[in-house]
Amino acid sequence: THQIERKPEWLKIKLTTGDNYKELKNMMRGKTLHTVCEEAKCPNIHECWAARTATFMILGDICTRACRFCAVNTGMPTELDLQEPERVAEASEQMGLRHVVVTSVARDDLKDGGASVFAATIRAIRGRLPLAGVEVLIPDFQGDEEALRTVLEAKPDILNHNVETVERLSDKVRAKAKYRRSLELLERSKRIAPSIPTKSSIMLGVGETWDEILQTMDDLRAVDCSIMTIGQYLQPSLKHLPVSKYYTPEQFAELKQEGLKRGFSHVESGPLVRSSYHAHEQVQSAKQS
């Protein structure tokens, strides 16, 4: 399509087909589990899976929200699957993962937003893979502090929650979330569990200005967020928010320097960077700092 032809050169992906990747792909087939890697057709899947990093999506694949950049289906969510934490742990073990990222759709229909299932999943993974890093990328739980506490009590290695975009565009890009509420979640997390590093991501190309990106960095540092990822937004379909701009690899590199200057312990910044990209290395640097 025209859409794809207009993409700049640096967004075209070189596919490597390592044995690791093929092996994992076969293993996932037939399992009733969802990985973001596959569902979001993440461009990094070969690299990540070869490096034994994967992102599982728990709590079903139907979201109660409908953010304008997101390809996940919206509607009435499915029944909770009580075996899910154990199955994620089992798959992680079979895949030999070194870094497991667990995320979910927003489940505003559940009393705790699914926090207890996040906690159970962290514990189940620890039970089978005591040496693997466990990162959770959580929804905002509608600002419920108890829900956040439930997740933190299970001691993830990284608590990740995305602001996704700059403050001015928040309402437009992710209608049911709030920029300040996301910052508050990150701040509370450091207050409740100071030793757990927090992480947040934004995607570029939805209409933000350069200064607004820098301001977002400052806002995240002000709540002691230590890991940041910055990637290019790509429109999943014509129904989704259009791309306002493609940033160059040089601009991403410059933003990485801006982030490091501001004191983040780790900044992943690049056109194809996604929230969990190189997540394993991020744990290392967070632990060293």
In the block, which residue shows the tokens 């620890």? Answer: 126
| 105 contacts ligand SF4 (rule: CB under 6 A) | yes
Query: 62 Cβ partners below 8 Å, 6+ apart?
Result: 72, 73, 74, 75, 76, 77, 78, 105
- In the bound complex, what is the minimum distance in angstroms from residue 65's beta carbon to ligand SF4? 4
| 226 contacts ligand SF4 (rule: CB under 6 A) | no
| 48 contacts ligand SF4 (rule: CB under 6 A) | yes
- In the bound complex, what is the minimum distance in angstroms from residue 230's beta carbon to ligand SF4? 13
| 44 contacts ligand SF4 (rule: CB under 6 A) | yes
| 34 contacts ligand SF4 (rule: CB under 6 A) | no
In the block, which residue shows the tokens 């759709």? Answer: 105
Length of the chain in residues, anyone?
A: 289
| 67 contacts ligand SF4 (rule: CB under 6 A) | yes
| 169 contacts ligand SF4 (rule: CB under 6 A) | no
- In the bound complex, what is the minimum distance in angstroms from residue 178's beta carbon to ligand SF4? 12
| 65 contacts ligand SF4 (rule: CB under 6 A) | yes
- In the bound complex, what is the minimum distance in angstroms from residue 231's beta carbon to ligand SF4? 9
Site for ligand SF4 in 122-161 (CB under 6 A): 139
How many residues sit close enough to ligand SF4 to count as binding (CB under 6 A)? 23
Site for ligand SF4 in 180-219 (CB under 6 A): none
| 88 contacts ligand SF4 (rule: CB under 6 A) | no
Cα gap 128→100, rounded to integer Å: 12
- In the bound complex, what is the minimum distance in angstroms from residue 40's beta carbon to ligand SF4? 6
| 36 contacts ligand SF4 (rule: CB under 6 A) | yes
| 21 contacts ligand SF4 (rule: CB under 6 A) | no
Q: 72 or 213, CB closer to ligand SF4?
A: 72
Return residues touching ligand SF4 (CB under 6 A).
36-37, 42, 44-45, 48, 53-55, 63, 65-67, 70, 72, 101, 105-106, 139, 174, 274, 276-277
